[in-house]
Each structure stands twice: as structure tokens, then as C-alpha cells.
Amino acid sequence: KMASEDITKLAESLAKTKVGGGQLSFKGQSLKLNTAEDAEEVIKQIEEFDGLEALRLEGNTVGVEAAKVIAKALEKKSELKRCHWSDMFTGRLRSEIPPALISLGDALITAGAQLVELDLSDNAFGPDGVRGFEALLKSPTCYTLQELKLNNCGMGIGGGKVRVVSVGNECHRKSSAQGKPLALKIFVAGRNRLENDGATALAEAFGIIGTLEEVHMPQNGINHPGITALAQAFAINPLLKVINLNDNTFTEKGATAMAETLKALRQIEVINFGDCLVRSKGAVAIADAVKEGLHKLKELNLSFCEIKRDAALTVAEAIEDKAELEKLDLNGNCLGEEGCEQLQEILEGFNMAAVLGSLSDDDGEEEDEEEEEEDEDEEDDDEEEEQQQRLKERGEGEQESLTPKKVIDSQDSTPVPPPPVDVATFLAFPSPEKLLRLGPKCSLLIAQQVDTCDVEKVVTTLLRISSVFKDEAPVKTAVHETTDALMRKAFTSATFNSDAFITSLLIHMGLLKSEEKIKAVPSLYGILMTLNHMVQQDYFPKSLAPVLSAFVTK
């Protein structure tokens, strides 16, 4: 059965975005707003909207001139609280982004708005783009900010990351002086190449803020010095509920530091350290922290972390009294067949077998690698000590806030990377981890390999991609990007039969009967969520919307 809320979501998208609760949405309309004239309709709707509290501009492209006139309309909107402005500069030159953002930001300051949420994710600012919202972040408009989202903005290149931190610190200082210190709750900055210096600078800011509830910083190339700095800062944020550091490199040192912090955090609900190379010692330290407290824990992800059997079993034993736990992910580790069975037995003993995620990517038991690991770690330590010694000699003290490049490289090379995944492996046995492990070019690779003349092939590929959909940043983004690359290629190809595509898709979804016996997909959640994204994109033929809508809402 289709989940009714997913159908409703899709139906709403098909009927174009509905507006309610003080929200005006142009989301995903692929508007190309270059001139003042292009923006007339947008401006009209903004001006006529009384009590505007949220403005969604994501999925359009706004140029400098259009931004100026939209800004003019926003100058009178003092009630605006939420700016959903992700992905709104597609195809723009990098130099166009700061002036456009400056106009919009200045308008909010003029209006005297008090923002609660600012989302600028998926805009390729690059390092200099930060100046586009610098004045806004320092202004009283952002003293009330609770959610700041800067996912996938290319901040890590050059000085962007450090600049964001200094701007944030200034906002905190100024707001405190007015008796209302910045109380940020949610911070998102995944896929930004922050590395150790960015993470360490952010840690400093987090320590000052102290009110964080969610931190999402996956895929940032952070190694243990940065992870340790973050751990120390998290300890001063007692309200933390969600920590997502997926796909960074903890090693045992980082994992042990993080485990110490977890012991002090009482509100934690989600820990996502998947693909973080915590290794066995790190996993045992984390298990220890889980066992001692964390009674609100709902999700623990330690997948693809090179954890061996005994350590994984220790993790399982630690969750015995966690009544709220919904998901334990230990996939992609080194348990071996017997280890996987033992893990399941332990959880069955607690009546918690249902929380365990798939173990289909288990790497099997490994032997005789302990010594190698220890040697590697010792080499790491020696090299680091040498580097510290050199810094001391140069009179730079023991500050580790900006880790020298050499150290970063030496740490980057020690972890044994998971085996590479190719497109064929992913399509044969799809999983979210495999899709992410295909790397940043996954969308390109998959689109290249699929012959768009073959409608069936396109349908089955789309279903496989959507089957791994998860409502969490990196996976969701990867599914969307891969879907976009595949379907844009298909729909723009002269030989692609769109009607045949929709028919075949509906059959595979079990919404249309077929002469041939075709097995419907087991769950419609992934494909519904993916279609919900697809129908809002510029490549999706508007003529297909009514057909799809008729079947989905039946």
C-alpha cells in the first residue's frame, strides 16, 4: 500500500506548490530570473502577500538585476522569518552570487526582519561568496537565528570556512551585548571540504554558542585533530540531539575523544558516524558511552568503519536498555558470517532484532591486521610529534588549530579505504552506502552507462536508484543528483519515448496491469519521494504530470 502522506506530497507537487502558513513558495519552478521584467510575477506575489513569514526560492536561478528588484519588494516584509534560498543560482557565474545575496540581505536588514532560519545550501559560492551574506549574519536580523544551513557551498576552498566562523562569532558577540545572545540550534555544513582547520575554527564557535541541538557536517575530509576539537566543543552544548559526521576520518583517537563527550550528552537521539573509520577500539569506546547513558538514543550508525566482530558485539550489548532505539547500522564492517549471526542472536535476546539494519555489505572477518594498524598509528604519532616540535621551534607554541598540511596528508593515507564500487555493482545490489561510495561523479557515471533508447533500462535504473532513498542529506542529495542526470539525459534525447516510460514505470509500481507478469517493487516510498523531486525539475515534461497524477491519486 502506498503511504498516504507520500502520495499527498507528490500530488501537491504535481498541482504546483500550495501556499499556507505565511509561506510563499516558488520552489522548483525553474524560473530563470535575469532582468527586472523576468521577476515581475515574483515581486507582485511578494508585495500582495500579507504576513509573509517564509519565502522559498530554491530550484530557480536568480541574477543580479532580478535580485535587486526582489530585494526592493522584501524591504517592507518585516515579518519574514525563514529564507529557504538553497540552489537558487544554477548556471550563474560565481561573481554574480555575492552581489545578488548582498541585495537580498540588505533588504532584510532594512525591513527589520528577525530571521529564524537561513538556508543557502547547494549554492556554489566558493570562498569569496561568504562576503555575500557577511553583513546579514552580523546584523540584528540574524541575532534571532536558530537554523543556519550551508550544505555543499564550496566554502572549504581558500579562506571561506574561517571567514564564516569569524562572522558567526561577531554575530554572537553583538547579540550578547544587546542581552539576547545568538541561540543557534541547527547547523548544517556537509560537503564543504572543511578539513581540520575548518572544523577546528567551527569548534571554537560552537563552544561559544552552547545552544546547538543538531550538527550535520558529513563528507568534509576531517581527521582526528578536527574531530577531537569538535568533540570538546560538543561537550559544551548539552542540548545536542543529532550529530552527523558521516564520511570523515575519526581513527581511534577521534572516536575515543568523541566517546568521552557522548558520556556528558544526555539528549542525544541520533549518532551518525558511518564511514568514519572508528575501527574496533573506537567502537568499543563509543559502546561504553552508549551503555553508560544516552537513554534517548534512536539511531546509531557505525557502518563501514572497519569494526571487527568482538567490538561489534560489544556495541550490540551496549544497547540492551535503550528503549527508544529504532535503528542500529553496523553494515560494511568485518564481522564474518558467524559474527553477523552472533550479532543477531544478541539482539534477539533483548527483543531488539528489529532495530538492526542490513548486514549485506559485511566485509568478512579479517585476521592479523591488528599489528599493522598499531604500527600505522605509531607512525602517525611520530610524524605528528615531529611536526609539533618544529612548530615549537618556530615559536608558534602548541596550538593545533591550523594543522599543517603535511600532517593532514599523512593521516589521510593511513586509513584503508573500503573497496571501490562500480556502477554495475551498485545497480546489481543497490545500497545507500554504495551510491555514496561511487563518489561525486556517481550521477555522471550512471547516466553515461544507461542507454536511453531502452525505456525498460531507464525505468529499472530509476527504480534501483530510488530504492536507496533516505531522508537524510548525503543520500537524498546523491539520489536526486543521479536521478536528475539520468532523466535529463533521457527526456532530452530525441529517441526517448516518454509515454512508454510512464506506462512502464506505472506497471513496475504496481499501479497498472500488464500482459506480462512483471513484479511490482516491494516498497513505493523511494520512488514516490524521487518522483516528488523529479516532477518539480525543468526537464520533466509538463504533459506527463496529469497522467502520473491520475494514477498516483487513484
pLDDT of 508 strictly over 80: yes
Least confident of 113-122, 214-223, 303-312, 502-511: 502-511
Q: How confident is the model at residue 158 (pLDDT cuts 50, 70, 90)?
A: low
Look at residue 13 in the predicted model and tell me its pLDDT.
61
Q: Among the ranges 68-72, 404-408, 444-448, 474-478, which has the highest mean pLDDT value? A: 68-72
Q: 147 in helix, strand or coil?
A: strand
pLDDT of 93 strictly over 60: yes
Q: How confident is the model at residue 148 (pLDDT cuts 50, 70, 90)?
A: very high
**CATH code for residues 423-552:** 1.25.40.200
Taking residues 537-544, what's their average pLDDT?
87
Domain boundaries, the chain: 423-552
Q: Which tens digit of pLDDT belongs to each residue from 465-494?
A: 999 999 888 899 999 999 999 998 899 888
Provide DSSP, 301-356. E--SS--BHHHHHHHHHHTTT-TT--EEE-TTSB-HHHHHHHHHHHHHHTT-GGGB
Look at residue 254 in the predicted model and tell me its pLDDT.
98
Q: Sign (positive/negative) of CA torsion 313, 317, 322, 324?
A: positive
Answer whether 198's CB lies under 8 Å from 160's CB: no
Q: What is the 3-state secondary structure (H, E, C) of 11-67?
A: HHHHCCCCCCCCEEECCCCCCEECCCCCCHHHHHHHHHCCCCCEEECCCCEECHHHH
Least confident of 221-235, 274-288, 439-453: 439-453
Q: Which tens digit of pLDDT belongs to each residue from 350-400?
A: 999 999 999 999 988 876 444 444 445 544 554 444 444 444 443 433 333
Look at residue 549 in the predicted model and tell me its pLDDT.
82
Residue type, 529: M
Which helix (H) or strand (E) segment is 264 a member of?
Answer: helix 251-264
Q: Which tens digit of pLDDT belongs to each residue from 346-361?
A: 999 999 999 999 999 9
pLDDT of 415 strictly over 70: no
Look at residue 164 in the predicted model and tell me its pLDDT.
81
- Comparing 340 with 164, which gets the higher pLDDT? 340
Number of other residues whose CB lies within 10 A of the CB of residue 14? 20
pLDDT of 106 strictly over 70: yes
55's grid cell: 519565502
| Separation of alpha carbons 310 and 326, rounded Å | 22
Q: How confident is the model at residue 417 (pLDDT cuts 50, 70, 90)?
A: low
Q: Which tens digit of pLDDT belongs to each residue from 268-303?
A: 999 999 999 999 999 999 999 999 999 999 999 999
| Separation of alpha carbons 414 and 379, rounded Å | 9
* Mean pLDDT score of the chain: 86
Taking residues 248-269, what's their average pLDDT?
97
| Separation of alpha carbons 179 and 452, rounded Å | 60
The fraction of the chain above a pLDDT of 70, given in percent, is 86
Look at residue 171 in the predicted model and tell me its pLDDT.
93
Q: How confident is the model at residue 156 (pLDDT cuts 50, 70, 90)?
A: confident
Number of other residues whose CB lies within 10 A of the CB of residue 375? 11
Look at residue 421 in the predicted model and tell me its pLDDT.
75
| Separation of alpha carbons 366 and 73, rounded Å | 63
Least confident of 93-97, 210-214, 449-453, 530-534: 449-453
Look at residue 159 in the predicted model and tell me its pLDDT.
61
pLDDT of 34 strictly over 90: yes
User: Which residues, 6+ apart, have CB-to-CB distance to 377 below 8 Å?
Assistant: 251, 252, 253, 414
The fraction of the chain above a pLDDT of 90, given in percent, is 62
Look at residue 182 in the predicted model and tell me its pLDDT.
94
- Comparing 11 with 303, which gets the higher pLDDT? 303
Answer whether 108's CB lies under 8 Å from 115's CB: yes
| Separation of alpha carbons 411 and 298, rounded Å | 32
Residue 206 CA to its chain's centroid (Å): 19
Taking residues 81-98, what's their average pLDDT?
93
Residue type, 138: K
